[in-house]
Copies of this chain bind each other. A is one copy, B any other.
Amino acid sequence: MQKNRPGQAVPGRVTLKTIAEATGLSLSTVSLSLRGGTTLKQETRDKVAAAAKALGYVPDRAGVRLRTGKTNVLALVLDGAEDSIDFARQMIQGIGQAIKGTPYHLTVTPEFDRRSTDTIRYILEHRNADGVIITHTGPRDPRVQMMVDANFPFVSHGRTEFFTPHPYHDFHAEAFATMAVERLAGKGCRKVMLVIGDDRTTNYHNIVTAFHKSAARNGLETALLESTRGLTPAELRGIGVELAHSADRPDGLICDSETRTIALLGGFMESGLVVGRDLHLVYKQTSGILPTMFPRLDSIREDIVAAGVELTRLLRLRIEGAPAEELQTLSEPQPQWRSGD
């Protein structure tokens, strides 16, 4: 398997040398031409371009990387979070779409320990990528800090609270909370409860703030179930049961995590509590699983595939030197009202 002698050219390989021989030009000229050297005359440039195309030339990644340091690699550092079902697949699909036809490849590294910065450090030290994409960003995320300090191109899915601006694409969590509260208010709810999946992300703060503000504006009583993070699905399910039996339970529920929503719903079902009759619910939706199961439940959607595309776009611009403050975008929540009105 692959037994050609190392250090010797692979016979069939098309390199700059091949094109040089084919066109009768020098290797340097070919290289220059392919990179759009303006000092070359048009005729030459055309000839080279034609030959390159005919031979199917693709620059050798190792050669380019060795010479220029450019890896043509984007690195996705995958967080272990499981709040969004199928998050990884969709994110990768989005990034894949965005780099299709470009010289970029995608490497994926799962970071097992949430608070660890090992993977980032490794990439920074060994320059194993031209840019990094991180997800589930926290307010003072050490990964962001580290890359900002190193002035290394990256983009985060999620905002931070750092003073220095950096590229990000984020779900507009405030809008989500506001929309959800208003929907519940519209359904006639008097007491709304917010169930938070992960209180370590920046979105946590944004959602909580907007939730309270919007509830106040609509004259609603509020309750907050935060830090469900450490709980097992079974425990959360238990909370669902408790809620169902509680005397002063809320009549409106907002949940920003699909897996938490599922656990709660499991508890409700077990207790005979019916969403849409006994209370109302709005959850944040990123996969098709929940709507398949419960086609009548209201949700607000974030499109993770689109997020992947956008993150890649921002990162590539960043790599090309665009200023960070121009590379910050939000995605608007997409309400999916399915419970009639």
Stretch of A32-40, A102-110, A157-165 lying at the B interface: A102-110
In A195-237, the 8 Å CB interface with B consists of: 233-234, 237
Chain B residues closer than 8 Å to A42, beta-carbon distance: none
A98 to B237, CA, bound (A): 33
Q: Across the interface, do A66 and B63 meet the contact criterion of CB distance under 8 Å? A: yes
Contacts A88-B89, A293-B262 hold; do A107 and B109 have CB atoms under 8 A apart? no
Q: Across the interface, do A293 and B295 meet the contact criterion of CB distance under 8 Å? A: no
Q: Is A22 among interface residues, defined by CB-CB distance under 8 A?
A: no
7 example contacts (A-B, Cβ-Cβ < 8 A) are as follows A1-B153, A7-B68, A10-B69, A92-B110, A233-B292, A234-B295, A266-B295
Q: Which of B10, B89, B107 contacts A78 (CB 8 A)?
A: B89
Per-residue contact bits, chain A 92-131, to B (CB 8 Å; 1 contact, 0 not): 1100110000000111111010000000000000111000
In A44-92, the 8 Å CB interface with B consists of: 58, 60-63, 65-69, 71, 76, 78, 80, 82, 85-89, 92
Chain B residues closer than 8 Å to A294, beta-carbon distance: 266
Chain B residues closer than 8 Å to A87, beta-carbon distance: 89
A110 to B60, CA, bound (A): 22
Q: Is A265 among interface residues, defined by CB-CB distance under 8 A?
A: yes
Q: Across the interface, do A92 and B78 meet the contact criterion of CB distance under 8 Å? A: yes
User: Smallest distance from the beta carbon of A299 to chain B beta carbons, Å?
Assistant: 14
**Ordered nearest first, which 8 A-B pairs have the shortest CB separation?**
A88-B89, A233-B292, A62-B65, A96-B110, A62-B66, A6-B68, A108-B108, A266-B293
Q: Is A4 among interface residues, defined by CB-CB distance under 8 A?
A: yes
Q: Across the interface, do B262 and A69 meet the contact criterion of CB distance under 8 Å? A: no
Q: Is A321 among interface residues, defined by CB-CB distance under 8 A?
A: yes
Q: Is A246 among interface residues, defined by CB-CB distance under 8 A?
A: no
User: Smallest distance from the beta carbon of A92 to chain B beta carbons, Å?
Assistant: 6
A63 to B6, CA, bound (A): 12
